Amino acid sequence: MRILVTGGGGQIGTELLHVLASQGHELSVYDIARRPSAAPGSAAWHRGDVSNRSEVFDVVQELKPEVIYHLAALLSATGETLPHRAYQVNMDGTHNVLEAARTFGVRQVMFASTIAVFGPHLPDPVPNEVSLRPTTMYGITKVAGEMLGEYYDNTWGVDFRGVRFPGLISAGEPGGGTTDYALFMYVHGLRHGAYECFVGPDSTVPMMYMPDALRALVELSAAPKEKLKRHVYNIAAFSPTADEFADAVRARVPNVQLTYNADPMRQSILDSWPARVDDAAARHDWGWKAQYTLDSMSDDLIAKIKAMDE
């Protein structure tokens, strides 16, 4: 298939490109950043800003993708620092992508949503259908993106599907999210022998290893539409405390020093998110199931970071 990935140079996008390339798809990327060295050479690179409607329309009209993976976004911590820019990228950008998909006959739009759509004081675990009252600009724009996508599907037949990602962990460079502390424990612990975590030791949110996250996107894209009972799905893997992450690193990195110094802004964002989400709908509708545990992820992640440093 012809596939366009917006934000393909980011943490998720770069690794998703390799998965899609291995399946033989014709890939193009639309990203404001230059091509990273980690991106596969087979992906055509197009520089541009998703908040610029004419640029988005031009690239979709030119490339005629059958599927768009819409990943371009400013993440939670960056979004609180630059809320107006977060609105432009996350809200205007999503509207531009959906309108271009409608105008030029794109069959499907895959959307990267997030647990940031949830607010505080929700059931534990949080079910798929619940009142969405986020406390960050990032979360607000993602709720609006979910609802706008449903509108385009119901009104104009653009096949819109999305997953609500937990915090994602990979060997790649993170992009300004509130859950980046988990990866930094492994990376800084291995490379420097120490890391001061920007949230407290008891902080708990849903997390997932990147290979599972990529598989969720690809599997949901391929699922028969008649089996899907909703447009956007919770997905889940594990929910360790920050100190449980630290214990996993300590068990694998001798003499590492991991300490805590909570940043008030990022701690408040994290505290507004649920500790666990219920992904029963995804498991029922399209057979979703995470493969990695905290331990199996830790073993694989440390091996990958070491290989990168050799």
At residue 40, what is the residue type? P
> Active-site residue among 69, 87, 138, 181?
138
Known active-site residue 138: yes
State the virtual CA torsion across 208, 245, 74, 280 in degrees, nearest 10. Answer: 30
Find, among 286, 169, 183, 136, the residue nearest to 237 by Cα: 169
Find, among 191, 206, 184, the residue nearest to 270 by Cα: 206
Catalytic residues: 138
